[in-house]
Amino acid sequence: MADTSSSFRDSFAAWAGKFSGSRFVRAIMQAGYSVIAFSIIGAMFLILTVLPQAFPIPGFAEWYASTVGRFAVLFQVVFNATMGILALVFAGTFTYTYTEIYREEEHLSLNPLNGLWMFMMGMFITVPQLIWKGGMMNFVTSLDKDNIIGGGYAVSAGGITRIGSVGIFTGLVVGWLTVQIYRFTIKHNWQIKMPASVPPGVSNSFSALIPGACVAAVVTVLNMVLVLAGTDIFKILYIPFSFISNIANTWWGFLIIIFLIHFLWWFGVHGSTIMSSFYTPIVLANLAANVGGQNNFFAGDPMNAFVIIGGAGATLGVAIWLAFRAKSVQLKEIGKVEIVPALFNINEPILFGLPIVYNVQLLIPFIGAPLAAGIVGYLGVSSGLVPKIILQQPWPTPVGLSGFIATASWQGAVLSIICALVAFLVWYPFIRKYDRMLLKQEQAHESNQ
């Protein structure tokens, strides 16, 4: 039985490690990082538009309306220039990185910048809404106040709709398709090669001509077939991804995600990387939807604000306890090393030094603590006691400040601290028992010397 269990553990860890290191996942993760800067910039200006809600002080709303509020539309424009082009930023970075990875690992003469521009071309082929009517292709037009479409482009106060959060999934598909077509054409030498005397800029332009034409042809044919069938790629992808999003937005779906993150981590695999490669497009889309009036808890970065405070396993309280209360020399030293990184949600010293990975004695609190924190965070926001998440804070943001930025409210800061305390209450009996066990082992070792 032990051999079977060990074999399963090793096989699972190997599979998960291979998946997390795959080219697609690595490119997705880089795309997620690229959005952070844009979301922070957008958040700065969005905060200026929601100041009265963030600070419900008597008289403040009136003062705001007569001063800063006069420029609210301008602040919205800046926000639209960041979150309103989310699909282009996210999928564009994915395509650039994906191309770069293939270039380096398969030693192909791929130009990431060419890959990016070919993606942009392919993406904008799919953006306009078309319809087959009267025996010919036509742009969809609508003047309905809730669905304004001109020349095929759906627009709103947030800009061109399909290049915002709703276009992330389509962008990923077009980006993946672009890179694979680009890679195929270069591997089969379908390119125009210029003499060595030609400047690199000119040479790169011509080398992308045939791959670019192939991308345009494939995406156009795909778009044409779907339009003739009465749909398009956005509508096709909406069905499966909306199903996944609906599951992720439920309380039980959210808890399953937390469980899987930590279950993978226990095997020594970066669970956050694997799971976030799936849910990052969802939380970004939900963040934009929240700004538009919805109330989704799973938006922005609720994990680092309310769940994995201090790092995977929600170990901030553990790090503090180890540094100041642990009796075991081993745990006290780990606590001293970990206490500062834990403030910024970094806890590899605990994961591999305690250790938590493959440690059956700490499996229950490692999974149970973030689940408990997640339940408290979910209830706090979904009940309306804490304002909805409208901003994405940088993941290393310390406890309290992370909740404040995420919700633009003091209630969010308080909830973040409460979640950290709840997580530690789950951890306390287990880490205390583990500390005593290690102390006895240390004492026994000393007496034998």
Rounded to an integer, the average pLDDT of 253-267 is 89
430 has a pLDDT exceeding 90 = yes
Residue 382's pLDDT band (boundaries 50, 70, 90)?
A: very high
User: For residue 336, what are the CA distances in angstroms to 264, 330, 350, 393?
Assistant: 26, 10, 11, 27
Counting residues of the chain whose pLDDT is more than 90, the rounded percentage is: 44
CA dist 421 and 314 (Å) reads 10
Residue 1's pLDDT band (boundaries 50, 70, 90)?
A: very low
Q: What are phi and psi of 138, to 5 degrees?
A: -135, 155
DSSP assignments along 289-317, one per residue: HHHTT---SSSSSHIIIIISTTSTTT-HH
Tokens representing 145 are 């106040």
Q: For position 432, what pLDDT does the model report?
A: 94
Q: How many CB atoms lie within 10 A of CB 238?
A: 16
Which residue, chain included where needed, has tokens 């591999």? Answer: 352
Q: For position 31, what pLDDT does the model report?
A: 85
- The set of residues, in sequence order, having a beta carbon less than 8 Å from that of 399 and lying 6+ positions away, is 309, 310, 316, 343, 416, 417, 420
Q: For position 291, what pLDDT does the model report?
A: 81
Lowest mean pLDDT among 191-195, 242-246, 273-277, 324-328: 191-195
pTM reported for the whole predicted model: 0.74
Tokens representing 58 are 């008597």
List, in sequence order, every residue forming a beta bridge with 136; answer none if it has no partner: 133
Rounded to an integer, the average pLDDT of 91-103 is 95
More confident residue, 192 or 94: 94
More confident residue, 148 or 122: 122
CA dist 358 and 366 (Å) reads 11
CA dist 95 and 89 (Å) reads 10
Q: How many Å separate Cα 43 from the centre of its chain?
A: 16
Q: For position 412, what pLDDT does the model report?
A: 94
134 torsion bin: left (phi>0), alpha (psi -120 to 50), beta (else): left
260 has a pLDDT exceeding 60 = yes
Mean pLDDT score of the chain, rounded to an integer?
A: 86
Question: For residue 30, which of 124, 102, 94, 122 has the smallest C-alpha distance?
Answer: 94
Secondary structure element (H or E) that encloses residue 149, with its range: strand 147-150
Which residue, chain included where needed, has tokens 């319809």? Answer: 131
Which residue, chain included where needed, has tokens 């969005």? Answer: 46
286 has a pLDDT exceeding 70 = yes
| pLDDT tens string 290-345 | 887 888 999 988 999 999 999 999 999 999 999 999 999 989 998 898 888 899 98
Q: How many Å separate Cα 289 from the centre of its chain?
A: 15
Lowest mean pLDDT among 39-53, 306-320, 406-420: 39-53
Q: What are phi and psi of 156, to 5 degrees?
A: -150, -170
Sequence spans of domains, the chain: 85-245, 249-447
Torsion 345-349-352-354 (CA) sign:
negative
